Amino acid sequence: MAKGIIFDIKRYAVHDGPGIRTTVFFKGCPLDCQWCHNPEGIEPMPEMLLNKVKCAIDCRACISECPRDAISKIGTTVYIDQEKCDLCGNCVDSCMYEALLIAGEKVSARDIFTEVDKDLIFYDESDGGVTLSGGEPLLQKEFLNELLDELKSRDMHVTLDTSGYSPFADLERVCDRVDLFLYDLKMMDEMDHEEYTGVSNAIILRNLRELVSAGKPVEIRIPLVCNVNDDEQNIRETIRYLFDLENIQSVSLLPYHRGGCEKYIRLRKGERMKLFKPPSKDRIRQIKQSFLEAGFKVRVGG
């Protein structure tokens, strides 16, 4: 039985596909988007998060409970030695202020199925289901396929949220058990895409075309970041590319938000944090109107 690593399960989600859903967040992503709002999902292995705001000045419980002497405190600042820490979780259990958290848990497909099965009544009443997100679920393909088998054994509606950066064979393998693909499309220029995400978009665009050619329903998701991909040329080229594709159910425009900034600090990766801005409300309305005039069903937000 394959084991996977997830970093969150969000229940009663209403922005990750139709109806009321349970969203499972897989850990690990091949992209490193500079505006990522889930940076704890980028690295494939579990990581320790430290919320310094919650950390009590006089408390040293985590230090005394660490068997590897990986934690120290100078003044009010807690330091965690990454090389010594083996993520045993003793410090997390000892912290009554919930200042420490391990992002990433090893689970089986049966563990996930047992959890989402609790919400079956909500799926039935709202035409909802389960959304597999991340990170990038396709990075954990054996675990993903076992989980899909479990979910479809109960005829659950399954949505897969993907960056599209994967061999098409991996996408093709899951097609018959995924009811809807949420497909991220960042920008059309390959050099810009590589600059801001760390990878080329060539395979992403090619996989999208293959996916819709296979007859699978796809919702396009476009993060909108001011002065990155909200310019007229990128929007025009995106519309032109999508216009020739079939089975595009809708387009979701996702204005940038700064929800990931604090997480970079908690991961002690503040040097990687970059500040961006969402487009203005007027610009978002203009972009939405451009997609509407091209004949797409469009919404702003997830």
3-state SS record for 95-107: CCCCCEEEECEEE
**What does the pLDDT read at residue 20?**
93
From CA 19, how far away is CA 21, in angstroms rounded?
Answer: 6
CATH number attached to the domain at 3-44+105-300: 3.20.20.70
Predicted TM-score (pTM) of the model is: 0.93
Instruction: Round the CA-based radius of gyration of the chain to a whole number and report it.
Output: 21
Q: Following DSSP, what letter does each residue of 188-204 receive, concatenated?
A: S-HHHHHHHHSS-SHHH
Q: Is the pLDDT of residue 274 over 80?
A: no
**What does the pLDDT read at residue 102?**
94
From CA 186, how far away is CA 166, in angstroms rounded?
Answer: 15
- The band of 193, judged by pLDDT with boundaries at 50, 70 and 90, is very high
Using alpha carbons only, give the angle 238, 243, 247 rounded to the nearest 5 degrees.
Answer: 110
- The reply to whether 3-44+105-300 and 47-103 are identical in fold is no
From CA 278, how far away is CA 287, in angstroms rounded?
Answer: 13
- Under DSSP, the state recorded for 280 is P
Q: Is the pLDDT of residue 271 over 90?
A: no
Domain range list for the chain: 3-44+105-300, 47-103
Comparison of pLDDT for 15 and 163, the residue scoring more:
163
Domain 47-103, what architecture? 2-Layer Sandwich (3.30)
Residue in the block written with tokens 């064979």: 169
Average pLDDT rounded to a whole number, residues 224-236: 97
- The band of 221, judged by pLDDT with boundaries at 50, 70 and 90, is very high
Closest CA to 148 of 175, 128, 172, 167: 175
**What does the pLDDT read at residue 259?**
79
From CA 262, how far away is CA 283, in angstroms rounded?
Answer: 27
Q: Using DSSP, state whether 244 is helix, strand or coil.
A: coil
From CA 128, how far away is CA 124, in angstroms rounded?
Answer: 7
- Contact of 291 with 239, CB cutoff 8 Å: yes
- The band of 270, judged by pLDDT with boundaries at 50, 70 and 90, is confident
Closest CA to 39 of 233, 260, 204: 260
CB atoms within 10 A of CB 87: 16
**What does the pLDDT read at residue 184?**
97
Q: Using DSSP, state whether 176 is helix, strand or coil.
A: helix
**What does the pLDDT read at residue 7?**
96
Per the document, the length of the chain is 302
State what percent of residues in the chain have pLDDT above 70. 99
Closest CA to 131 of 234, 10, 229: 10
**What does the pLDDT read at residue 93?**
95
Type of residue at 77: T
**What does the pLDDT read at residue 75?**
79
From CA 49, how far away is CA 59, in angstroms rounded?
Answer: 17
**What does the pLDDT read at residue 258?**
83
Type of residue at 138: L
- The band of 50, judged by pLDDT with boundaries at 50, 70 and 90, is very high
**What does the pLDDT read at residue 260?**
79
From CA 169, how far away is CA 226, in angstroms rounded?
Answer: 34
pLDDT tens by residue, 61-72: 999 999 999 999
**What does the pLDDT read at residue 267?**
87
Q: Would residue 3 be called left, alpha or beta, if left means φ above 0 and alpha means ψ between -120 and 50 degrees?
A: beta
**What does the pLDDT read at residue 186?**
97
**What does the pLDDT read at residue 165?**
98
pLDDT tens by residue, 120-130: 888 888 999 99
From CA 133, how far away is CA 8, in angstroms rounded?
Answer: 10
**What does the pLDDT read at residue 300?**
95
Average pLDDT, the chain: 93
Average pLDDT rounded to a whole number, residues 74-90: 89
Average pLDDT rounded to a whole number, residues 239-259: 92
**What does the pLDDT read at residue 119?**
87
- The band of 262, judged by pLDDT with boundaries at 50, 70 and 90, is confident
For residue 286 the two structure tokens come to: 């203009």
